[in-house]
Amino acid sequence: MASEPENKETNPLPTPEAGAPSPLVAALQREHPEWIAEVIEAFSETTIVVPREHIVAACSFLKTSPETRFDFLSDICGADRGPEEDPRFEVNYHLFSTTKHHRLRLKVVLSEEDAHVPTVTGVWRTANWHERETFDLFGVIFDGHPDLRRILLPDDWQGHALRKDFPLRGYEPYSLK
């Protein structure tokens, strides 16, 4: 399935397809086009790549806007593209609307040297633990988080476990082989 980045310049009037959440993107494109870096529609899901500085504003807009009403944050998920890639880290926000039942994914891409994202705990309080988990496993720092510390790994653990350059079996003395 090819991903087709649509840009506002090449497709100013997105044609509404059956069941495709283009209206979601349409609302955002109309009001704040500078928040959208890229739109990917694949596997009947919509992904919007948002620049890091606008993520909180985009999230609060999507939560309150009457067309979208994304009042439920399903998941915040980090991903590591690998140590050679730049930008290296992705943070995915999976949004869901309890009234309209549509879903959307927001993606923020970060480089390794500057892995900071503003926190969205002010928008949805459930982001608290999800961001702690992403910090714990990837090392992405969420600015403004009320309590950013490790949640799954022990508190004195060195390293971030889900990065691609962290070995599966860990380091000595933890790999008791």
Question: What Å distances lie between residue 161 and 75, 81, 94, 115, 170, CA to CA?
Answer: 19, 14, 22, 16, 8
Element (DSSP H or E) covering residue 74: strand 72-80
Among the residue ranges 15-23, 25-33, 110-118, 148-156, the one whose residues contact another protein (CB under 8 A): 148-156
- Where is 38: in which H helix or E strand? strand 38-42
Task: Tell me, residue by residue from 6 to 25, as one string, x for binding to another protein by CB under 8 A and - for no binding.
Answer: --------------------
Rounded CA-CA distance 106/109 in Å is: 10
Stretch that binds another protein, among 6-14, 49-57, 111-119, 166-174 (CB under 8 A): 166-174
Q: Is 72 in the site for another protein (CB under 8 A)?
A: yes
The residue among 32 and 49 lying less far from another protein, judged by its C-beta, is: 49
- Euclidean distance between CA atoms 51 and 115, whole angstroms: 13
| 158 vs 153: CA distance, rounded Å | 9
In the complex, the smallest distance separating the C-beta of residue 12 from another protein, rounded to whole angstroms, is: 26
Rounded to a whole number of angstroms, the minimum distance from the CB of residue 68 to another protein is 15
For residue 124, give the amino acid letter: W
Site residues for another protein per CB under 8 A: 1, 3, 42-43, 45, 47, 71-75, 77, 79-81, 92, 94, 96, 98, 101, 103, 105, 124-126, 128-130, 133, 137, 146-147, 149-158, 161-162, 164, 166-171, 174-177
